[in-house]
Chain A
Amino acid sequence: MELRRRGAIYLYFLQAIPMVMTIDRAHCLYLTRGVCRICEKVCTREAIDFEQTDIEIDLNVGAIIVTVGFDPFDPTSLSEFGYKRLRNVMTALEYERLICATGPTGGQLIRLSDRKPVKKIAFIQCVGSRDVKNNPYCSTVCCMHAAKEALLAREHDPNVQSYVFSMDVRAHGKGFQQYIARGEEEYGIRYVRGRVAKISENLEGNPIIGYEETFGSIVEKMEVDLAVLATSFVPRPDTKDLAAVLGVELDQYGFFKTAHLAPFNSTRKGIFVCGCCREPVDIPESVAQASGAAAKAAEIVTGDQP
């Protein structure tokens, strides 16, 4: 995620499965310039094999389940938010890495630009979502992850103040409303109803949030230490190719198309879809869908249809 430097041979992340090192093709000295091979020499298990090439595997299967997930939307194109241009604007996923114990700061809530502790955060919702110019749909999970991230900030440092800039707060799952309410009451999270028009920064690198409060249509400015963009969920770039290979259709947004009242069925028999490659969903819904898709596949593979 470009938050810190890593070697050209690395572990994807600490809880990765399988737990093996990966060689970064684009940066490996041997693969790019034909020199080095140090890793090969130091690996006591002789697990480095530079001769490995892509192989094609032929499988004969009764059913296929597509679970390729999504990508977070890249907000660079939305210049008003200043992502990549301003020093202390990051995406929610980057923020999650920042506060994670295995992240670039070992879980400390500090700015990467100047290692200054973060005391005031703006969470900007619907970045690229519910936006006719980009992705008209709602990405479903951002309201809740913003609340969680703001809560975590408070847990890292009880003096952190978080502001969430959103249109609607969508908290419709089990216990979600109560979670939002606790965030407001006990963790001091403030919700600002309105669209953020522009983010700029001052000399110290503090983002200045320019927003229009919907209650009263006043343009306001707020200086914060960090701005976190809740970017929308978008189909992975290779979705189109995969759909072509599978011979299935995509919907108007580029997600896999599924049938009304048959939510796992792609447009081709025996190919099922679940998770965020069909529509943005949260974890429990993904898990439920995964079980359901497995049932659909099992009906074909081990079924006993009369």
Chain B
Amino acid sequence: MSDQESFEPHILGFLCNWCSYAGADLAGVSRFQYPTNLRVIRVMCSGRVDPALVLDALIWGIDGIVILGCHPGDCHYLTGNYYTERRMRTLQTVLDMIGVKPERLIVDWVSASEGERFANLIGDFTEKIVELGPLTDDLPPEELRTRLLAARDALSQQRMRWLVNREKELLEKGDVFGEQVDEAEFHEVKFEALAREYEKNRILHSISDQVLSVQEIAKTTAIPPREVLKNLIAMEQKGLVTVSRIDGVNPKYRRLGGGESL
């Protein structure tokens, strides 16, 4: 852990125009003081915040992210904040999975009349992040970056987006046959899919700018060689990776197209 005294965390807030941004303004009007670390991006609704963008923010080195919307039921756009809540909960699971402390991301609700609450919330969160230390305390910088990139790409992937964004409807209204989906079961399926998608992207990112053998990939990603091979074969069929050259008996893989995208 780094020196807490001198650590000034970078904290990014996504605030919805109607409730939380207004609450933040009210904190100002009422002169409630809070730490200077917060930088705010205003959005019309917290539902605008794409989990992939949150990961981008982490990739760029933000230490803590706070997403604030209207209280449940108060959303100016009816249901935006419900999506936010489910999306960000999923994202927290992903962060936990890849070794980033999930407490670095919080989702909360602040109404237009809660100026004092806003100031306290930001104060507490800032303190929490100072306690956690810089993001790079969670993982070594290079590893952190690759993992975050892989997580971002996993969450940008079509199937994941369907799973994450249909969650609300599936759990509240049931599936196309009107059958209520079991919440625990759903989360299990979702998490499994996320893990697999992340694994795939983690492998892809490991061979974005270098050619590696199955063993070498397994070593850098800490994914069992069998899984690596299974993934590579599947991705080779989809034209995502190719065998670049063969060293002795070991084929070495590299990523096709795409690659690092920031």
Specify the chain B residue showing the minimal Cβ separation from A178.
Answer: B30
Main secondary structure of the interface of A (DSSP, over half): helix
Is A155 on the interface with B (CB-CB < 8 A)?
yes
Q: How far is the CB of A157 from chain B (nearest CB, A)?
A: 15
Specify the chain B residue showing the minimal Cβ separation from A155.
Answer: B31
Q: How far is the CB of A249 from chain B (nearest CB, A)?
A: 41
Q: How far is the CB of A37 from chain B (nearest CB, A)?
A: 48
| Distance between Cα atoms of A151 and B30 in the complex (Å) | 11
| Distance between Cα atoms of A224 and B30 in the complex (Å) | 28
| Distance between Cα atoms of A151 and B31 in the complex (Å) | 10
Q: How far is the CB of A4 from chain B (nearest CB, A)?
A: 29
Within 8 A of B (CB), among A121-160: 151, 155
Within 8 A of B (CB), among A155-169: 155
Q: How far is the CB of A171 from chain B (nearest CB, A)?
A: 15
Which residues of chain A come closer than 8 Å to B30, judged between CB atoms? 182
How many residues of chain A are within 8 Å of chain B by beta carbon? 3
Which residues of chain B come closer than 8 Å to A151, judged between CB atoms? 31
| Distance between Cα atoms of A155 and B30 in the complex (Å) | 12
Specify the chain A residue showing the minimal Cβ separation from B31.
Answer: A155
Specify the chain B residue showing the minimal Cβ separation from A151.
Answer: B31
Q: How far is the CB of A76 from chain B (nearest CB, A)?
A: 35
| Distance between Cα atoms of A172 and B173 in the complex (Å) | 48
Which residues of chain B come closer than 8 Å to A155, judged between CB atoms? 31
Specify the chain A residue showing the minimal Cβ separation from B33.
Answer: A186
Within 8 A of A (CB), among B1-53: 30-31
Specify the chain A residue showing the minimal Cβ separation from B29.
Answer: A175
| Distance between Cα atoms of A70 and B30 in the complex (Å) | 29
Q: How far is the CB of A158 from chain B (nearest CB, A)?
A: 12
Which residues of chain A come closer than 8 Å to B31, judged between CB atoms? 151, 155
Q: How far is the CB of A185 from chain B (nearest CB, A)?
A: 13
Q: How far is the CB of A148 from chain B (nearest CB, A)?
A: 11
Within 8 A of A (CB), among B34-88: none
Q: How far is the CB of B23 from chain A (nearest CB, A)?
A: 14
| Distance between Cα atoms of A182 and B119 in the complex (Å) | 15
Q: How far is the CB of B181 from chain A (nearest CB, A)?
A: 46
Residue-wise interface mask of B (185-225) relative to A, using a CB-CB cutoff of 8 A (1 in contact, 0 not): 00000000000000000000000000000000000000000
| Distance between Cα atoms of A182 and B31 in the complex (Å) | 10
| Distance between Cα atoms of A182 and B115 in the complex (Å) | 14
Within 8 A of B (CB), among A179-215: 182
| Distance between Cα atoms of A68 and B30 in the complex (Å) | 31
| Distance between Cα atoms of A151 and B29 in the complex (Å) | 12
Specify the chain A residue showing the minimal Cβ separation from B30.
Answer: A182
Specify the chain B residue showing the minimal Cβ separation from A182.
Answer: B30
Q: How far is the CB of A265 from chain B (nearest CB, A)?
A: 35
| Distance between Cα atoms of A182 and B27 in the complex (Å) | 13
Which residues of chain B come closer than 8 Å to A182, judged between CB atoms? 30
| Distance between Cα atoms of A210 and B31 in the complex (Å) | 33
Specify the chain B residue showing the minimal Cβ separation from A186.
Answer: B31
Q: How far is the CB of A75 from chain B (nearest CB, A)?
A: 31
| Distance between Cα atoms of A58 and B4 in the complex (Å) | 74
Q: How far is the CB of B99 from chain A (nearest CB, A)?
A: 42
| Distance between Cα atoms of A155 and B31 in the complex (Å) | 10
| Distance between Cα atoms of A155 and B33 in the complex (Å) | 12
Specify the chain B residue showing the minimal Cβ separation from A187.
Answer: B31
| Distance between Cα atoms of A41 and B204 in the complex (Å) | 77
| Distance between Cα atoms of A182 and B29 in the complex (Å) | 13
| Distance between Cα atoms of A117 and B30 in the complex (Å) | 26
| Distance between Cα atoms of A190 and B31 in the complex (Å) | 19
| Distance between Cα atoms of A182 and B30 in the complex (Å) | 9
| Distance between Cα atoms of A182 and B116 in the complex (Å) | 12
Q: How far is the CB of A182 from chain B (nearest CB, A)?
A: 8
Q: How far is the CB of A178 from chain B (nearest CB, A)?
A: 9
Specify the chain B residue showing the minimal Cβ separation from A179.
Answer: B30
| Distance between Cα atoms of A155 and B29 in the complex (Å) | 13
Q: How far is the CB of B161 from chain A (nearest CB, A)?
A: 44
| Distance between Cα atoms of A152 and B3 in the complex (Å) | 37
Specify the chain B residue showing the minimal Cβ separation from A175.
Answer: B30
| Distance between Cα atoms of A182 and B33 in the complex (Å) | 13
Question: Can you sample 3 A-B contacts with CB below 8 Å?
Answer: A151-B31, A155-B31, A182-B30
Residues of B within 8 A of A (CB): 30-31
Residues of A within 8 A of B (CB): 151, 155, 182
What 3 pairs between A and B have smallest CB-CB spacing? A155-B31, A182-B30, A151-B31
